[in-house]
Amino acid sequence: MHELSLSSAILDTVMRHAEDRRVNRVELTVGALRQVVPSSLEFYWGIVTRDTVCEGSVLELTEIEARVACNECDVDPWTLETPVFRCPGCGGSDVEVLTGTEFLVDSIDVEEEACTVRG
């Protein structure tokens, strides 16, 4: 359900960089720990972009898995499948999240008028 709030945040970011140009495509990187449901995000994206230069644009999501390392023992970093932040090697709880919290707008594809000179 937070996908509506998140799509609005994405739209704000994209609009700032679009500078009134029509946007065709938005590339996003989303970490698993953000608990984003891609289909839900796409649904709300269609709604929040109505009557903006982003209307009809495609959201391309790259999902990053949650990788966690232990600070107490030398077990290899592991991928988190459930939200249990405990080391599978030593059972310790001093663990560090390496990836999985990302929520980045990577790039946008915009349409430029052929004759427009941008300085």
Partner 1 sequence: MHRTRVRVAEDALDANTTIAQANRADFDRESVAVVNLMSAPGAGKTSLLEAVFREGLGDVRPGVLEGDVQGSLDADRLARYHVPVTQLNTDGGFGGECHLDANMVRTALPEVGLDEIDLLIIENVGNLVCPAEFRVGEDAKAMVCSVTEGEDKPLKYPLMFRTCELVVVNKIDLLPHIDYDLDELLRNVESVNPGAKVLQCSARTGEGVDGFREWLAGVGERSKAVA
For binding to partner 1 (CB under 8 A), which residues are involved?
A: 1-2, 4-6, 8-10, 12-14, 16-18, 21, 24, 28, 33-35, 48, 82-86, 93-95, 103-114
CA–CA gap between residue 105 and residue 39 (Å, rounded): 17
Nearest to 100 by CA among 73, 63, 54, 46: 63
Least spacing, CB of residue 76 vs partner 1, in Å: 20
Least spacing, CB of residue 74 vs partner 1, in Å: 19
CA–CA gap between residue 97 and residue 112 (Å, rounded): 40
Least spacing, CB of residue 92 vs partner 1, in Å: 9
Consecutive H or E run containing 8: helix 3-18
Smaller CB separation from partner 1, 98 or 104 = 104
Residue type (1 letter), 45: W
Smaller CB separation from partner 1, 8 or 52 = 8
Smaller CB separation from partner 1, 69 or 104 = 104
Smaller CB separation from partner 1, 57 or 74 = 57
For 84, the token pair is 């249990």
> Is the Cβ–Cβ distance between 64 and 80 less than 8 Å?
no
